[in-house]
Amino acid sequence: MVIYLSGGVDCHQLLSPRAGANRRAYEAARPGLALPDYPAAALTPDWQLHPVLTSLHAAWAAGQLGIVRNVGPLLQPVSAVDYRQRSKPLPPQLFSHSSQNSLWQAGDAGVLAPRTGWIGRLMELLHPVYSPAARLSPMLSFSGPQPSFGAETLRSLGLSQDGAEPRMSTRRIPRDVVALAEQVMARMATTRDLGAGHPLAQEYARAQHRAAGVVSLINDALASVQVTTSFPALPALKTAARLFKADSLLGRRRSVHFLMHGGYDQHRELASDLQERLKDLNAGLTAFRAALEELKLTDDVLTVIYSEFGRSLVQNASGTDHGWGGHVLLLGGGVRTGLHGREPDLTRNSPDLVEARGLLLPSTATDQLMAELASWMGLPRDLMPSVLPNLGAFQRLEPLFA
């Protein structure tokens, strides 16, 4: 399950220092925004997760949460000196929402408009092996088309938060009109007489007929799985949990669902606005974890929570500006609980910070993270370059999964 926090979540509020030089630097850079030390939110003596994320605090205590620190797009390892002198190539259009989102979804930090995405390339390799008789695409989005799902031979599907909606909804069109139209299109779509109608009309009818079949398949699968857990927020996660449980009925042994949770571009009113967005996220994650436990899927589903970039350490009035590196949350799925990746140094003139605003220079490339996720999905190491073409420029991460 991929949850994309659109807008650039503030990584320094998401994971904040509690003690030492990093704490002093954090407070100095954010005199009006620095979170107090909350012992109840502590992950370690030195770091705490935002206090409203109680579901993730519980996951940490249960050994089900890993945090990969300071992740971002890179073409090759880069130092602060390299950045200032531009002595090594950098990803294009840094600090742009749309561009950095494209790089994350491409799985290639040099390509802004990819023909395929890293998840699409991954699933094209895994799908024939794990799901040769699948009746449904392995890639479903609750947030419209996603570049990461782009593939040469597979098509992703878009869902509403409650499942698959018919092309012709009886909420907008009278039921008898819908029934008549469906009969006509089914007849046109299955006729052997190619001269029975205009070719464009026939193809339209075939497309509608195929779509109706997919809608029935998805909604029948959902009807076979019920959960009692209530979802006060992010109801699409309830649908995702039910579809994960129905994978065996759909012939899928590997599948990826995508959900965007927006509103994180907080240049002003960071303290209050971020807390409200994270409360919403926390409510959705609390319900999702409970639903997965109810369905006995806790160890079978990995939830990846990321944003297109982090934000500046130095505050800008009541908010913060666009950054580069940020933190990624891994929930469930046999993850090794802990803070992974190199601990960032937040002190002034640190080699981990660039620009006067204090932007994290990524110490872990998106390629390194994605390679571990692909490995968890079952991709052999020798096939990784087919999914992540720049992976050879980086060392392998420490193990993220048990």
Q: Where are the domains of the chain?
A: 2-393
DSSP class of 360: E
Q: How far is CA 25 from CA 33, 86, 127, 211, 349, in A?
A: 13, 27, 48, 55, 11
pLDDT score at 182: 66
CATH class name, domain 2-393: alpha beta
196: its two tokens: 């029975």
Binned at pLDDT 50, 70 and 90, residue 14 comes out as very high
Query: CB–CB of 160/140 below 8 Å?
Result: no
Q: Give the pLDDT band (50/70/90) at residue 198.
A: low
Query: What is the pTM for the complete model shown?
Result: 0.93
For residue 78, the Cα-to-chain-centroid distance in whole angstroms is 25
Local structure of 39: helix, strand or coil = helix
Torsion sign (Cα): 394, 400, 401, 402? positive
Neighbours of 275 (CB within 10 A): 15
What are the tens digits of pLDDT across the range 50-79?
A: 999 999 999 999 999 999 999 999 999 999
C-alpha to C-alpha distance for 137 and 154, rounded to whole angstroms:
7
Q: What is the pLDDT of residue 196?
A: 56
CB neighbours of residue 157 within 10 Å: 17
How would you classify residue 59: left for phi > 0, otherwise alpha for psi between -120 and 50, otherwise beta?
Answer: alpha
Contacts of 67 (CB under 8 A, 6+ apart): 15, 43, 49, 327, 328, 329, 330, 338, 339, 340
Distance CA 40, CA 36 (A): 11
Pairing mode of beta strands 47-49, 65-72: unpaired
For residue 42, the SS3 value is strand
**Residue whose tokens read 């981990």:** 352
Bridge partner residues of 17 (DSSP): 47
Q: What is the mean pLDDT of the chain?
A: 93
Q: Name every residue whose Cβ is closer than 8 Å to that of residue 46 and which is 6 or more positions away in sequence.
A: 17, 18, 19, 20, 22, 343
Predicted confidence (pLDDT) at residue 259 exceeds the cutoff of 50: yes
Asked if residue 71 lies in contact with residue 9, where contact means CB atoms within 8 angstroms, the answer is no
pLDDT exceeds 80 at position 379: yes
Distance CA 375, CA 297 (A): 19
Please report the pLDDT score of residue 194 as a whole number: 45
pLDDT of residue 25: 98
